[in-house]
């Protein structure tokens, strides 16, 4: 049985994310989604559970405020996302998907800046343009997705280690993928919203779960998630 840790940043959309993930597949089975608030578990506890094979991936929910206000969110990304090998210690990294605030946290952790958007967008759909790789494989470009945010990862100061994978017509960042740790990805929009077309929602989230399945089997580290 595969389990995913869903970090709840005290947001009403968290259980929408959970429900969407729970009806999809990791391999041939539906994953179990453990929803835990960002101040009710430690990074060390999560690390132990990942090492034991208990959690196959981490999803970081939307939420109010800024990433720095979101409990363990940023430390979780910083300490558990990347792979490393030091002396006797090897850490393979763990697949992470950040949604809205979770996406912004990925941006900040790896050197980006989170700023006010030119105008807040709450409950409106926008065309999302993308490169057709990673979690966007098989989706048309553009496709309509729902946005609820007043902050964005700043485009002009986007660090080189984060690849732009999706954007709006006016150039706002809507998707990021770490260039080295390709299993770390984020989306600014809300794929779980009912206003995001169901087949697009399913395709995007299933793409992530497909990768989780392959990652868990192969202990794959570095590169390779290009399609």
Which DSSP category does 181 fall into?
A: S
What is the rounded end-to-end Cα distance, in angstroms, of the chain?
A: 27
Give residue for tokens 């989230």: 205
CA distance 29 to 181: 26
Q: In this structure, how many other beta carbons lie within 10 angstroms of the beta carbon of residue 114?
A: 18
Q: Would you state the structure tokens that stand for residue 200, as one six-digit string?
A: 């697009």
Asked if residues 186 and 97 have their Cβ atoms less than 8 Å apart, the reply is: yes
The backbone torsions φ and ψ at residue 110, rounded to the nearest 5 degrees and listed phi first, read -100, 20
As annotated, the active-site residues are 100, 190, 192
Cβ atoms of 108 and 121 closer than 8 Å: no
């Amino acid at each position: 049985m595969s389990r995913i840790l869903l970090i709840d940043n005290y947001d009403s959309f968290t259980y929408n994310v959970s429900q969407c993930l729970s009806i999809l597949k990791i391999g041939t089975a539906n994953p179990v989604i453990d929803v835990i608030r960002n101040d009710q578990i430690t990074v060390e506890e999560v690390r132990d559970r990942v090492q034991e094979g208990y959690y196959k991936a981490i999803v970081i929910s939307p939420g109010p405020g800024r990433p720095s206000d979101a409990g363990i969110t940023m430390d979780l990304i910083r300490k558990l996302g990347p792979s490393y090998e030091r002396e006797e210690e090897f850490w393979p990294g763990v697949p992470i998907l950040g949604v809205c605030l979770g996406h912004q946290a990925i941006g900040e952790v790896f050197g980006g800046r989170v700023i006010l958007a030119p105008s807040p967008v709450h409950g409106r759909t926008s065309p999302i343009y993308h490169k057709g790789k990673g979690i966007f494989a098989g989706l048309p470009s553009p496709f309509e997705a729902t946005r609820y945010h007043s902050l964005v990862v700043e485009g002009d100061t986007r660090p080189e280690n984060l690849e732009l994978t999706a954007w709006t017509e006016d150039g706002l960042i809507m998707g990021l993928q770490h260039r080295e740790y390709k299993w770390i990805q984020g989306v600014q929009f809300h794929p779980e919203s009912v206003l995001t077309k169901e087949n697009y929602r399913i395709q995007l989230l299933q793409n992530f779960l497909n990768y989780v399945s392959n990652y868990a089997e192969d202990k794959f580290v570095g590169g390779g998630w290009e399609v």
